[in-house]
A and B are shown apart, each in its own frame.
Chain A
Amino acid sequence: MIAGAVRDDAVPRRWRRALRQTGGFLRASRLNALGAGIVAAVVLLAVFGRALAPHDPNHLDLLAALKPPSSAHWFGTDNLGRDLFSRVLAGARISVEVAVIILGLSVAFGTLLGIVAGLVGGLLEEIVMRVTDLFLAFPAFILAAAIAATLGPSLNHTVLALAVVFWPWYTRLARGQVLALREREFVLAARVAGAGTMWIVLRHLLRNVLPIVVVQVSLDVGYAMLATSALSFLGLGAQPPTPEWGAIITDGRSFIQTAWWWPTFPGIALAVTVLGFNLLGDGLRDWIDPRLRGSLGGLQE
């Protein structure tokens, strides 16, 4: 009975803690709140954007071509008369999806490989780390462009190319953490209690590596979106008529003299989104660092 009572109490306690911490993060700096606000808006628009859009993003209306911003078309229209506001909203969804897939792939692969390398050590670790060195020695964007060009222009290939560029960072990060954690006394204590390698990885290491990975992800999201748009801008990524921000900017580039709104609004959307993720990532990093040091020890007098 008593055990049950205490247990029930534990859940709200954990939630309260989470809420308190979120509040603390948002209050720690105005930029944190700004970053979180932008990210929240972008994610909401990605989910509900299509429903909110006044027009079909791919609907052609040649009579309304190259119209400046107005109450009917907030961001104006392009040379085929497509509503740019609707296209930018649709683009938000593409950017978020692309970022989620790129980072999902590279985090899953990279983190796991890093943990295994750090734990197993020896020759395997040696090989894995040299391979990451090899990847990291290339300029990341050039490498991604080369891979995307080799595979052929398409949004899927761009995503794959960027995932290939991102994973080694997560491998290094995870391995470094594991090397530091595996000699920690709480890991030794688990071993003395009879824990095997899998237990230690799943219950101790993953949970302690994760917050640091999350911070890195939030810093990388903006970069992944920017890189996707840049590759699309170069013609290697999204193909017409996909309303990807980079692709819209490319199309509108030659019209900048006559229809300034065409490349400008997707450009602003891209810039603000990337800024939002960077602010959030920086804020998270600064906020989590001293806390990690505190909770992982070493902050005695």
Chain B
Amino acid sequence: MSATLLSVEALRVHIPVTRGVVLRRTTGVVRAVDGVTLDVREGETLGLVGESGSGKTTLGRAIVGLVPPTAGSIRLRGVEVSTLSGRGARRARSELQMVFQDPFASLDPRWPIARSVEEPLRLHRAGDRRERRERVLELLELVGLSRRMADRYPHELSGGQRQRVGLARALALRPALVVADEAVSALDVSIQAQILNLLQRLQEELGLAYLFIAHDLAVVHQISDRIAVMYLGQIVELSPGVDLYREPMHPYTVSLLSANPVPDPSVEAARERIVLPGDPPSAAAPPPGCRFHTRCWLRERLGDPEICRTLEPLLREVGPGRSVACHFADEAAASPVTRRAVDLAGGRA
């Protein structure tokens, strides 16, 4: 097993909600990330799945230093990066880079793309002008763009090409970890597949690690070695990808799998679906006890045990590399509902 690259411990990011213009007062706190612990190993892809409001984007942004943590630690090869400031922070954080979701917003519309890719090099005073230019052209080729495109503007490029430019920029400083936040979800499927394959090729060539954030289970499954599932600011299950999809142990993971549409009509026709009631609660006022209990399908079947409403389940190790935060993880794993939900043996093509 390879060494730990990044370790996040008991991380909290609480965002105050303010009201009023002249007399600003805090009216509440959104617990966007509320006690997250996870590791990313050298060269691996950790997938992070969750719905909107789960805190996955905030977690990613906290790791690259865009959002200050409220509590907890973020260590890169053992060095705390969340409290560093000045030049030290800049150097440490150059190893943590990010690819954004919207290929139309992530490049400055007034800059030729070569300038966007060069920006990190200039900020870190890497080489002289000619060396930087050469490096930019290399980077463009690395992500599958031709050198001739260097002086084009973003609006002259397609969505997929822009996303490649965003990737080239993230790779400019030779990072060890790239946080990809919904990096392919705005793209058309045929382009999405190109970028996913590119990400995998780059990982092999450069030994990169990814924190791959997405809401699409199939996309995360395609690229991740391990997968963490987030719900309302917390990780509810963390497993090697294969295990997570074969035997999910958290009722929320089961319902995500069940809701995910499968591109195979015979599977779809035979499937039984768990339809969760209502919308996810607000992260400003998470339910007491287990945060999922208000929508949990298992709780009913177990006769509404009180513990779910009163005691917050901790993320505990249940097997090699597997953790889950549910009081009734074994029951969830063994439930016939789970069996039917994951019985997706189809997927012929």
CA distance A191 to B150 in the complex (A): 22
Shortest Cβ gap from B277 to chain A (Å)? 33
User: Is there an interface contact between A194 and B94, defined as CB atoms closer than 8 Å?
Assistant: yes
Closest Cβ–Cβ distance, residue B245 to chain A (whole Å): 31
B112 neighbours in A (Cβ, 8 Å):
10
A295 x B151 contact (CB < 8 A): no
Question: A130 — nearest CB in chain B belongs to which residue?
Answer: B22
**Chain A interface mostly helix, strand, loop or mixed?**
helix
* A186-B108 contact in complex given A195-B123, A199-B123, C-beta closer than 8 Å: yes
Nearest CB to that of B148 among chain A residues?
A: A6
CB distance from B229 to the nearest CB of A (A): 25
Do A9 and B151 touch (CB < 8 A)? yes
Among B123, B124, B130, B155, contact of A4 (Cβ-Cβ < 8 Å): B130
- A192 touches which of B98, B105, B108, B159 (Cβ 8 Å): B98
- Chain A residues with CB under 8 Å of B64's CB are 192
Measured in the bound complex, the distance between the Cα atoms of B94 and A135 in whole Å is 45
The chain A residue with its CB closest to the CB of B162 is A297
Is there an interface contact between B166 and A189, defined as CB atoms closer than 8 Å? yes
Q: B202 within 8 Å of A by Cβ?
A: no
Cα(A189)–Cα(B111), bound, Å: 14
Number of interface residues of B (CB under 8 A): 44
- Tell me, in angstroms, the Cα distance from A190 to B106 when the chains sit together: 10
Q: Which of B57-96 contact A (CB under 8 A)?
A: 61, 64-66, 90, 93-94, 96
A198 to chain B, nearest CB (A): 12
Query: Does the CB pair A186–B93 fall under 8 Å?
Result: no
Measured as residues with beta carbon below 8 angstroms from the partner, the interface class of chain A is 20 to 34
Q: Tell me whether A7 and B133 are in contact (CB under 8 A).
A: yes
Contact of A3 with B97 at beta-carbon distance under 8 Å, contacts A185-B102, A194-B124 already known: no
| Residue interface bits B102-130, CB-to-A below 8 A is 1, else 0 | 10111111101000100110011000001
What's the least CB distance linking A256 to chain B, in Å?
51
* Chain B CB within 8 A of A207 CB: yes
Please state if B133 and A186 are interface contacts (CB–CB under 8 Å).
no
B173 nearest in chain A by CB position: A193
The reply to whether the CB of A286 lies closer than 8 angstroms to some CB of chain B is no
A204 at the interface (CB under 8 A from B): yes
Tell me whether A208 is interfacial, beta carbon within 8 Å. yes
Tell whether A139 is near chain B: CB-to-CB under 8 Å. Answer: no
A59 within 8 A of B: no
Mask: chain A, 210-238; 1 = CB below 8 Å from B; 0 = not: 00000000000000000000000000000
Q: Contact string, A12-42, partner B, CB cutoff 8 A, digits 1/0?
A: 0110000000000000000000000000000
**Cross-chain pairs A/B with CB under 8 angstroms, 6 sampled:** A192-B66, A193-B173, A194-B120, A194-B123, A208-B108, A295-B153
Give the 6 A-B residue pairs with the shortest CB-CB distance, closest first.
Answer: A297-B104, A193-B120, A185-B106, A295-B109, A185-B100, A3-B133
